[in-house]
């Protein structure tokens, strides 16, 4: 009897240790593995399912992920524009040389920096942008960074459409939508770029 109870106990312990997923298809990945997988799966997506909107709930998650970014001296010098008016999106696409995919996107996020608040504004806003891109990947959305700063002509295009205060500069325009087609992340790992203790 003791032997049976012992065996039952070991089986239960093994089952718990293996953390079988709900479908019993294998070992549930750890939180770290899920997050790392998301980082490695992130890719620029430039084609979106026409007419499929990003919901308010999805947008809220993207914006909150963005604002969770670190910033120099915690100054948080970001200001974020949300664009979902078709006319503005199309005019942005027309004016931005590498932003033509905006004609297909249901919305875009423009990450701007307060240049008075911090000299690091473009670094801090880059981290906001990366958080948004990673959150989009995690939520099955597609997004891509399209550059505004440091190009004066592109910044002027955005300023001509939206009345942004002079001390605030748009860093980028991030179209967001539901990915159309298959998109694969690029392989970037290159161990020759790692320098351990000496160059």
Ligand X SMILES: Cc1cc2nc3c(=O)[nH]c(=O)nc-3n(C[C@H](O)[C@H](O)[C@H](O)COP(=O)(O)O)c2cc1C
Q: Which residues bind ligand X (CB under 6 A)?
A: 43-44, 46, 98, 144-147, 186
CB of 95 to ligand X, least distance (A): 12
Phi and psi at 47, nearest 5°, equal -135, 130
With left for phi above 0 and alpha for psi between -120 and 50, is residue 31 left, alpha or beta? alpha
- Specify whether the CB–CB gap between 100 and 75 falls below 8 A: no
| Minimal distance, residue 146 CB to ligand X, in Å | 4
The distance of closest approach from Cβ of residue 43 to ligand X in the complex, given in angstroms and rounded to an integer, is 4
Nearer to ligand X, 123 or 147 (CB): 147
Residue 57 or 152: which CB sits closer to ligand X?
Answer: 152
Q: How far is the CB of 142 from ligand X (least distance, A)?
A: 10
- Name the residue nearer to ligand X (CB basis): 46 or 178: 46
Closer to ligand X by CB, 54 or 133: give it.
Answer: 133
In the bound state with ligand X, the residue whose beta carbon lies nearer, of 57 and 182, is 182
CA distance 68 to 97: 30
Instruction: Compute the distance between CA of residue 59 and CA of residue 83 in angstroms, rounded to an integer.
Output: 11
How buried is residue 87: exposed, middle or buried, by Cβ count under 10 Å (0-12/13-18/19+)?
exposed
Smallest distance from ligand X to CB 149, Å:
9
Which phi and psi (to 5°) does residue 171 adopt?
-85, -40
């Amino acid at each position: 009897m003791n032997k049976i109870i012992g065996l039952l106990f070991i089986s239960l312990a093994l089952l718990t240790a293996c953390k079988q997923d709900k479908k019993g298809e294998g070992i549930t990945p750890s939180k770290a593995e899920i997050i790392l997988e998301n980082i490695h799966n992130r890719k620029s997506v430039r084609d979106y399912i026409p007419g499929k909107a990003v919901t308010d709930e999805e947008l809220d998650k993207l914006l909150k992920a963005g604002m969770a970014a670190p910033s120099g001296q915690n100054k948080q010098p970001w200001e974020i524009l949300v664009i979902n008016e078709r006319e503005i999106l199309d005019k942005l696409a027309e004016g931005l040389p590498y932003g033509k995919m905006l004609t297909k996107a249901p919305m875009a996020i423009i990450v701007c920096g307060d240049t008075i608040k911090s000299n690091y504004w473009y670094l801090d806003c880059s981290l906001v942008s990366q958080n948004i891109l990673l959150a989009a990947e995690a939520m099955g959305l597609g997004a891509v960074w399209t550059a505004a700063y440091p190009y004066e002509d592109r910044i002027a295009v955005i300023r001509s459409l939206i009345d942004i205060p002079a001390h605030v500069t748009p860093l980028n325009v991030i179209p967001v939508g539901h990915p159309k087609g298959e998109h694969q992340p690029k392989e970037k790992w290159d161990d020759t770029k790692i320098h351990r203790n000496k160059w």
